[in-house]
Structure 1
Amino acid sequence: MRPESKSENGVAVAFGRQLKLLRIRAGLDRVEFGNRVGYAAQSIASFEQGRRIPQPEFVDKADRVLDAGGLLMALKEELARSQYPAFFRDMARLEAEAVTLHVYATLAVPGLLQTEDYARAVFAMRRPLLDEETIEQRVAARMARQEIFARKPMPTLSFVIEESVLRRPVGGRSVLHRQLEQIVEHGQRRNVEVQVMPTDRTEHCGLAGPFTLIEKHDGRRMAYVEVQRDSRLHTDWAVVRDVEEQHGIIRAQALTPLESLDVVMGLLGEK
């Protein structure tokens, strides 16, 4: 279990120091270097000071422009992981490797289904408050996770979402409307199933809270549980089996995927 921390991002700081040394070695100031890689001098300063995590495209360009011989590119994978809060980094890696992913959401639309505006609203409401730079970094990281939908071979993905989540206007009505549209779009993919858990269910097996079940290529299965920015990844077979049993009952109690898409379409039609 690892709480979210405001501590310094060691990977970003190390990358920034290397970047600065290589830039100075090349005889470039931040403005000239920024022009060559297509970034403002202010952004270069943020990268060098470890305050902002660069995107992979920047790392590739910087490595070429500074003739770094792969030194900067060697940090790309660690940089990608470090853009997530500390408590989610292991889960982000496992999610990217999963062949099967089952998500039960009770508080907000699952991150993999979120639109950029919905994600930004979620992070903006976080308490204690996140600064604007951190919010934009978290939004970019969340959007990057959605590359899972383009992966080949396609993973099997399922989502059970509480009806109350779909009615909560996070970010405002227009943001929610676009979010519901995106849920419908993803729900129509061949490898994705979205189910709604109606609020009026008298029997409900999911009152203990949200979770994610992960299966890897080697058959290993894990359960990830996150509450109040603390997380736990369960690998013990008995614990994972219990969560899988709970998940099976939750899916049986929820609406079918077709019924669920009808519900979401109905919400889209509400004013």
Structure 2
Amino acid sequence: MRMFGAVTRSLREELGRTREQLGVAVGYSASQVAMVERGERMPSARFIARAAEFLGQRTTIESAAEHLERNLHPSWFGEYADREAEAVSLCTYNTHLVHGLVQTEEYTRAVLDARFPMLEDAEIERRLDARLSRQALLSRTPAASIALVIEEWVLRRPVGGVAVLKRQLEWLLELGARRNVSLQVMPMLYEAHAGVDGPMTLLETPKRQWVAWLEAQGNGRLVDDRDEVSVLLTRYGMIRTQALTPGDSAKLIEQMAGEL
């Protein structure tokens, strides 16, 4: 990362461009650009592509990027992970699994063990470490505002077995008791509701701009178009009104955990 950062800084200064100018081109703040140039932050795939275009040195930038050790997240997920780590607000609606940000280690391991095609043991450990590293957001200062809406059936599927599921439910209750976390359950008794189009994650950036992350089948898309994000924010608001209140959700989760 230090080598890539040094190359980027050298090219930028040679052209007489500022960090602010490069930041505008790649979607980073000047301080984030500085962190990349000092080798303190892994550049996202978007940073690399846009920096190559902005600096007019695609071959040099891409050659330097080949030496980056992207050992935390898949390339398609890296940019979202960067946005998530610096988010001031995060809202999720989940329909298949508990959101990766709030999974216990045992739950995550069970999810990775079930992956098909099968993952090698070393790859499972790498992905486990990467997913757990994201949980720094949960204890960060200043605290991020986090809202979770989870389908009831997700909390009833015994991923990893009964003991693993029970611990996962207990962890969600612990999180839901925090002042900065809102946890709601979408009950199965509803015939239909505003979330029928599928899961989503919404992030508010330090600049108070909202972006959305839509993921399916080992791939994802970061949405920053204002009109599209506005629709998703409105939809998420309706989902929250249709879900159980945080208090009733906690009672239901306690009941489910007690049944295990």
Q: TM-score, normalised by structure 1?
A: 0.71
Equivalent in the alignment of 1:66: none
Q: CA RMSD in A?
A: 1.8
Counterpart of 1:77 in 2: which secondary structure? coil
Amino acid at match of 1:262: K
Residues in 2 aligned to 1:114 and 1:121: alpha-carbon distance in whole angstroms:
10
Give the alignment partner of residue 242 of structure 2, picking from 228, 253, 269.
253
Structure 2, unaligned runs of 5 or more: 5-37, 43-67
Equivalent in the alignment of 1:197: 186
- What is the correspondence of 1:149-228 to structure 2 with a 5 Å cutoff? 149-228=138-217
Residues in 2 aligned to 1:224 and 1:268: alpha-carbon distance in whole angstroms:
30
Counterpart of 2:191 in 1: which secondary structure? coil
Residues in 2 aligned to 1:186 and 1:103: alpha-carbon distance in whole angstroms:
14
Amino acid at match of 1:138: R
Equivalent in the alignment of 1:230: 219
Residues in 1 aligned to 2:69 and 2:177: alpha-carbon distance in whole angstroms:
29
Equivalent in the alignment of 2:111: 122
Q: Is the 8 A contact 2:71 2:126 kept in 1?
A: no
Q: Deviations 1:138-159 (Å, cap 9, x if unpaired)?
A: 1111111111111111110000
Equivalent in the alignment of 2:57: none
Q: Deviations 1:51-107 (Å, cap 9, x if unpaired)?
A: xxxxxxxxxxxxxxxxxxxxxxx6563278641122211010000010010011101
Structure 1, unaligned runs of 5 or more: 1-10, 16-73
Q: Deviations 1:2-52 (Å, cap 9, x if unpaired)?
A: xxxxxxxxx7xx99xxxxxxxxxxxxxxxxxxxxxxxxxxxxxxxxxxxxx
Amino acid at match of 2:41: E
Give the alignment partner of residue 41 of structure 2, picking from 77, 85, 88.
77
Q: Is the 8 A contact 2:76 2:220 kept in 1?
A: yes
| Alignment CA distance shift 1:76-1:139 (3 Å) | farther
Q: Is the 8 A contact 1:180 1:268 kept in 2?
A: yes
| Alignment CA distance shift 1:80-1:196 (3 Å) | farther
Amino acid at match of 1:240: V
Deviation at 1:113, TM superposition (A): 1.1
Residues in 2 aligned to 1:257 and 1:270: alpha-carbon distance in whole angstroms:
20
Residue correspondences, number: 201
Counterpart of 1:161 in 2: which secondary structure? strand
Answering whether residue 140 of structure 2 is matched by residue 140 of structure 1, we say no
Equivalent in the alignment of 2:81: 92
Counterpart of 2:115 in 1: which secondary structure? coil
| Alignment CA distance shift 1:132-1:75 (3 Å) | farther
Answering whether residue 244 of structure 2 is matched by residue 244 of structure 1, we say no
- What is the correspondence of 1:45-64 to structure 2 with a 5 Å cutoff? none
Q: Is the 8 A contact 1:82 1:89 kept in 2?
A: no
Deviation at 1:235, TM superposition (A): 0.5
Amino acid at match of 1:130: L
Equivalent in the alignment of 1:69: none
